[in-house]
Amino acid sequence: MKNISFIILMILLPILTKATNMPLDSIKKNVVSFLVKNERYPAESNINDFCNCQIIERKSGKEIVQGAEGIFLFFPFSEHGNSHLLLIEKEKFQIINMLNPLEQNLKVLLDFMKRNHYSKREIYLYLNEFIKIIEYNKNN
Tens digits of per-residue pLDDT, 108-135? 999 999 999 999 999 999 999 999 999 9
Q: How far apart are CA 88 and CA 139, in angstroms?
A: 27
Q: Tell me the pTM.
A: 0.78
Asked if 53 and 31 count as a contact pair (C-beta separation under 8 A), the reply is yes
In a domain, 1, yes or no: no
Residue by residue, what is the 3-state secondary structure of 105-135? Answer: HHHHHHHHHHHCCCCHHHHHHHHHHHHHHHH
Number of domains in the chain: 1
**128 belongs to a structural domain:** yes
The answer to the question of residue 6 being in a domain is: no
129, part of any domain: yes
- Measured in degrees and rounded to the nearest 5, phi and psi for residue 63 equal -70, 155
Is residue 11 situated within a structural domain? no
Range of 104's domain? Answer: 19-139
In-domain check, residue 41: yes
The answer to the question of residue 111 being in a domain is yes
